[in-house]
Amino acid sequence: MLTRGAMSQNYNSKIQKVWFSLVTLTGCLLSQSIFSAQYVVKFKNQTDGFSRAVAQRTLKRAKVIDQHSAGNLVLLDLGQPSKKELVKKLSEILKDPNVQYAVENIKIRAFHLPNDPEITKQWSVAAVRAAEAWNSGVGSRQVIVAVTDTGVDYSHTDIKDNLWTNKKETPGNGIDDDQNGYVDDVHGYDFRDNDGDPKDETSQQNPGHGTHCAGILGAVGDNAKGISGMSQRISIMASRFLGADGSGDLMGAVKSIDYATENGANVISASWGAASTASNAQPIIDAISRANDKGIIFVAAASNDGKNNDRYEVYPANTQLPNVITVAATTESETKPSWSNFGQAKVSLAAPGEKIYSTLPGDRFGELSGTSMATPLVSGLAGLLLAHNSDLKPTDVKGILQASGKKMEIETACNCRVDAATAVERVRGGNLTVIPQAATIAPDSTLQFSAWGGKGPYQFASSAENIASIDSKGLLTAKTEGEVTVTVSDSRNTSNQSLRIRVVASDAGGGGGTEDCPLGDPQICEMMCGISPDLPWCKAKMGR
């Protein structure tokens, strides 16, 4: 039996739970159902626990049914044990010194509601002044954007010429020609069905979400067909983990991100999310961190619950890593739709997301709405900026988009909606830009600033030294609550002022809608409290 001391020591760093939900808001209801006793287990780095579990296909008498080497993850099937047996098995797994944490594998489902199928003008393209941006260039197929979603209809006449092609792979020969671990991954990979065919499959639950996103970011432009994506020339990589019924799981999501990271993506577009604490979403955060290490931009949907992400935890949107750009939605009348999430600390910017006209499977077109639609527009615009300057870092792209955005009261970090023409102009002109442009930090914390563009050396200044001071190297030190701006000047006597840098004690609020019990069943939590009353939910119940 697991002792109280051992359980207390292992619990906080290991046992976690993910409520993993597709966020399309093409009008959808979310439903969650748990796989029968399946857990994703993360092994610590530089141990042989992962390789031993994979080789033996078992861990503590639990069957290993899947594995993901990039994340040191295995998927365990614990069968259908009683609650008492489940507690015992979890305890044994978490006592393994090689195990870092365990996360429930959650099945999710999105139910599509009818929306107006009328074909309308692409108002979003006009709103962000895309045509003016295209006067300076329409993009490059050297830039790869991965669509992690329900797949992409790669036979669509308005998409197929902009598909990423793995030139090292021979189609249909059943061989992993490039030895990247995936057979016949010519245009991407399908982690839902574990094959090299990531084609979007429609149903009442999935109208073609991934294909719609792909068209928004990269439908072929100026080809006398259909519509134009934000980048008229780009390479779209399909990384599918959501099925025809709109369902997927945590393991597939992590794999889809890592596939893009390992196979050359410059931008990853993620129009999905999870109501979850940061610890619950750790496998996803780990995968985004691996993308960050390679300088890959990760664009995430803010979600469609109409809530403030500063107080409502949702992932990957709230991931606090330098490469993450989180996107809210706007309407044609330049307002925030009631369903779009927002947040001055956790949401980077906004983009058109209501009644967006784009590609659908079967050479069709139609309207969908959601932060899911706003996200690929920003992904496509990020790709367009990279086509002009491939040396841009993720933080540079975020800062430039915020500095160039059209200001509007929408409660994001920049209070702005992206403007493609101004963003491209800033990149092409090498305009001096403070990085980051907007931020929220706590008193007594520090934040490193830098400059993009202009000509060094640079000088930094704070608008209110009593609130936050900044040294000659751009290190800002927050002192007390309030707001400041940071100004950078260069050797040419040009300058740029940041947007608001907010110093607040805490914007954190309640959890993401999960129960206090992180195991999904209050009775199991009661049993765990019998083993160790020091567990967090046990303390809460006892008022300690």
Rounded Cα distance between 327 and 127, Å, is 16
Rounded Cα distance between 465 and 288, Å, is 35
Kindly state the tokens that stand for 250: 């945590």
CB atoms within 10 A of CB 353: 32
Block residue for tokens 């610890």? 279
Catalytic status, residue 303: no
Number of helices (H), then strands (E), in the chain: 13, 30
Cα distances from 410 to residues 329, 341, 342, in angstroms, run: 9, 10, 7
Catalytic status, residue 209: yes
Q: What one-character DSSP code corresponds to residue 163?
A: B
Check: CB of residue 348 under 8 Å from CB of residue 416.
no
User: Of 149, 158, 249, 310, which is the active-site residue?
Assistant: 149
User: Of 68, 112, 156, 209, which is the active-site residue?
Assistant: 209
Check: CB of residue 438 under 8 Å from CB of residue 501.
yes
Give the list of residues 6+ apart from residue 377 with CB closer than 8 angstroms, or none: 124, 128, 216, 217, 230, 351, 352, 353, 356, 418
Catalytic status, residue 372: yes
CB half-sphere exposure, 124, CA atoms < 13 A: 34
Kindly state the tokens that stand for 535: 């567990």
State the sign of the Cα–Cα–Cα–Cα dihedral 342, 348, 349, 352. negative
Block residue for tokens 């999935």? 206
Check: CB of residue 460 under 8 Å from CB of residue 420.
no
Check: CB of residue 299 under 8 Å from CB of residue 333.
no
Q: Which of 187, 379, 382, 392 has its CA nearest to residue 301?
A: 379
Q: Which residues pair with 447 in a beta bridge?
A: 476
The catalytic site residues sit at: 149, 209, 372
